[in-house]
Amino acid sequence: MRSPAALPQKRWRAVNENVAKRLAILKVETMNDMSEFEEADANGPDAQALRSSPARFVNREVSWLQFNMRVLEEASNEAHPLLERLRFVSISANNLDEFFMVRVAGLKGQMRAGLTKLSADGLTPSEQIEEIATLAQHLQLEQQDQWQTVREALFEQNVVIHEADDLDVDQVNYLQKLFREEIFPVLTPIAVDPAHPFPFIPNLGLALAFELSRPDGDTPLTALVRLPSNLDRFINLPSTLVSEGRSEVVTIDTLVKIFFHKMFPGHEVVGSGAFRVIRDSEIEIDDEAADLVVEFESALRQRRRGQVIRLEVESSMPRALKRQISEKLSVKDDDIFEVQGFLGLSDARKICDIDRPDLKFTPYHARFPERIRDHNGDCFAAIRAKDILVHHPFETFDVVAQFLMQAARDPDVVAIKQTLYRTSADSPIIKALVMAAEAGKSVTCLVESQGTVRRGGQHSLGARSGKGWRASCFRVH
């Protein structure tokens, strides 16, 4: 009997082969239309025609989806600990979200503009969208397969992800109190009717839709509850309510469904379902702007309201409710994906935070360069004795932050030149550079900013460091 993990891989290989055949047909048609190939002579095909043919290339978007499938395949590797396998599912899902937010959004923008320029492999934007739709659908199906496989395996290891119908009475009472005191106050249930317009759902926003019957028996009522992104998707049940050695969690959307009657008393739920929105997050930046930081911050604010590129809905949602939501969001049928499983798998990474070290990779502790310790933490003295090569990730990056901080404080340092690619939420590197600039040193920083913003991160240099960064440092973007 074939294992559950093997089934998705076989299905994916079949899809890949089918797509490859379709791509090959398109390429041959393109080459014939452009007369790229001449009749082969006795010595073989025309080498010059082959060198200029689109058939030499693999489509960039298809290649990326195949890469993300390889990421997902790590989730089926039984040599990895279970929570790390779950993390790979989450990473794959998050990658796919960003793919639609940027790459697919860009292709759809070309289609709206009426552009028909062929890609390097000879496909129009619409043909690329068609291939992406096929591969992305099967990739998401396999993500759900892997989620279910890992979830069942976690259950065997005493990690339980509850559904509404398998909670006991004590757990329900605890969750009811938690919902009333901590969750309900930050929710905003909305009735959707002519007097209450459809609310704005931000990019990657998750919401629950309900079809209700009124107490008076008149026309049904549609209600929405948007789940704020600053609420944890998973709630850990206290140790007093679970068996010893077990970790049990429940999703916040499950709580909303259980206690929905608290928000609309007297109404009966006829049908319900969760949905999730992915919006166009491609940004256009004026490279000649006076302040690129301000330009990026403005683009980020506008990006929250980009056009809906994809609508994901639970397969259990009633057809009429799904149609109403898609119409309100102006989403075409081709851009709706029904999910039979867990909506928003990128959030599953939160489960990996539970205290189960036996289900995670063994932590790796990077070493600190011994010579700097021998010089009592004085990086300059250690370098003066002999050049130092810091080998990441085997040696900690903390030594780089320490080196910059020492340079910022040293009165003999007159200039610092630094390249920045990505920074953390509270970057010690930026703090050191700001400190150096405010101390009167010449600070020049080369910043790779556009790629970071497109991947979904905040633009750290303005938002995280305050006005001191802008006033004191010379930035090159």
User: Strands (DSSP E) along 87-242, which ranges?
Assistant: 159-162, 190-192, 206-213, 221-227, 234-236
Element at 223 (helix H, strand E): strand 221-227
What mean pLDDT, rounded, does the chain reach?
A: 84
pLDDT (0 to 100) of residue 5: 41
**pTM for this entry:** 0.81
Listed as ranges, residues in the chain with pLDDT below 50 are 1-8, 26, 30-31, 33-38, 40, 452-454, 456-468, 471, 477
Residue 35: both structure tokens together? 């007369």
Q: What are the domain boundaries of the chain? A: 6-154, 159-281+291-359, 397-476
CA–CA dist 348, 146 (Å, integer): 12
The pLDDT tens digits for 320-379 are 999 999 999 999 999 999 999 999 999 999 999 999 999 999 999 999 999 999 999 999
* Amino acid (one-letter) located at 458: Q
Tell me, rounded to whole angstroms, the distance of Cα 22 from its chain centroid: 29
Residue 268: both structure tokens together? 């009966």
pLDDT (0 to 100) of residue 152: 96
CA–CA dist 367, 392 (Å, integer): 10
CA–CA dist 349, 360 (Å, integer): 12
Q: Is CATH 3.30.870.10 the right assignment for the domain spanning 397-476?
A: yes
Alpha-helical runs (H) found in 244-369: 252-258, 292-303, 319-328
Percent of the chain with pLDDT over 70: 79
pLDDT (0 to 100) of residue 42: 52
Q: What class is the 159-281+291-359 domain?
A: alpha beta
Residues whose CB is less than 8 angstroms from the CB of residue 12 and which lie 6 or more positions away in sequence, other chains included: 69, 138, 139, 142
CATH T-level topology, domain 6-154: Methane Monooxygenase Hydroxylase; Chain G, domain 1 (1.20.58)
CA–CA dist 167, 151 (Å, integer): 17
The pLDDT tens digits for 24-82 are 554 555 445 444 444 545 566 677 777 778 878 899 999 999 999 999 999 999 999 99
